[in-house]
Amino acid sequence: MFVLHQPPGRATLPVDAPVWRTCLREVAFVDDWHRAAPGQQLVGHAEAYALLLEIVTGLRSPLVGETEVQAQFKAFLASLDPAAHLDLHRLGQRVLADAKYIRQHHLQGFGAHSYGVLAARRVPSGRRVALVGAGALAGQVTAALAGRHTIDQWARRAVEGRPALLLIATADARGVVSSAPTTLVLASPVASAVAATVARCYADVREVIDLRSADQRSPIADDLPVVTLDTLFADARGSACMPAERIEAARSDITRLARAFERREQVRPLGWDDLCA
């Protein structure tokens, strides 16, 4: 197993490779050795497994130990065609099992909050919320704000069982939805022009909480204060700092697990199926 790891959009990835994308990185899974482009990290076998474990456990995140990246990895595995990517699916399940072990033994009590919870902390009590997005991240924000705020959720398309969603395509025709003080939360990689269209539906937008990745961000309006993921990470780091010895212990255990993975690959080069051959 080999992986190509890079910041979003840094270089072209193999077109036939499954790619796991987050707001901070792209990880392509390739079957053989590729020439790495500038800005790409190419690793294989135990090193590749250790890299995946460090990413999934949040040790490569700005907020060390955060759990959002693990949820994103689960969603990536669920999106794969099981028949076409059986080996990768099995690999992913092993990574998730080992990540659970690392969290339980080394990271307990740190990084437990999702991006949605971090965003919700920034919304003043009683403030109306215009939430753009209908995916997992938007669901986290909604759950964190439920019962304390009026939430208008905007999406590109209707979602079965969610009649309360406001469609972005109808924003221009709606006029002013509310004159109450409003926080705009971007929980989807929408263009800034789309975000501005939604913002115009509110007469008193006080700030924007922008959960888009750095490469997706661009100004929405010059007069609106913006809270980015970087700000949320800085807030969280200030409230809970993981001791360096726990990080080192986690990385040491990850190295051990990666070596065990490589030994298994050497003993069973065809995977578990070769046991029944």
**Cβ(25)–Cβ(59) under 8 Å?**
no
pLDDT at 108: 79
pLDDT band at 250 (very low <50, low <70, confident <90, very high): very high
Q: What is the structure's pLDDT at 63?
A: 77
Q: 126 burial class (0-12, 13-18, 19+ CB within 10 angstroms)?
A: exposed
153: pLDDT confidence band, cut at 50, 70 and 90?
very high
Model confidence band, residue 216 (pLDDT cutoffs 50, 70, 90): confident
Mean pLDDT of 209-223: 83
- Spatial contact of 217 and 230, defined as CB atoms under 8 Å apart: no
Question: Which has the minimum average pLDDT: 5-14, 26-35, 140-149, 235-244?
Answer: 235-244
Q: How many CB atoms lie within 10 A of CB 114?
A: 21
Asked if pLDDT for residue 26 goes beyond 90, the answer is yes
Stretch 70-95: mean pLDDT:
93
* Mean pLDDT calculated for residue range 194-212: 94
Rounded to an integer, what distance in angstroms lies between the CA atom of residue 125 and that of residue 122? Answer: 9
User: Is pLDDT at 269 greater than 70 in this prediction?
Assistant: no
Tens of pLDDT, residues 91-128: 999 999 999 999 999 987 665 567 888 899 899 988 99
Percent of residues, the chain, with pLDDT higher than 90: 50
Q: What is the mean pLDDT of the chain?
A: 86
pLDDT for res 242:
66
Q: Which of 134-138, 245-249, 264-268 has the lowest mean pLDDT?
A: 264-268
What is the pLDDT, as a whole number, of residue 213? 80
With cut-offs at 50, 70 and 90, classify the pLDDT of residue 240: low
Phi and psi, residue 129, nearest 5° = -125, 130
Residue range 33-73, pLDDT digits in tens:
888 888 899 999 999 999 999 999 989 987 788 888 898 89
pLDDT (tens digit, 9 = 90+) per residue, 155-190? 998 877 776 789 999 998 999 999 999 999 999 889
Most confident of 105-119, 234-248, 253-267: 253-267
CB 194 within 8 A of CB 166: no
Asked whether residue 265 carries a pLDDT value surpassing 70, the answer given is no
Of 39, 41, 60, residue with least CA distance to 3: 41
More confident residue, 265 or 198: 198
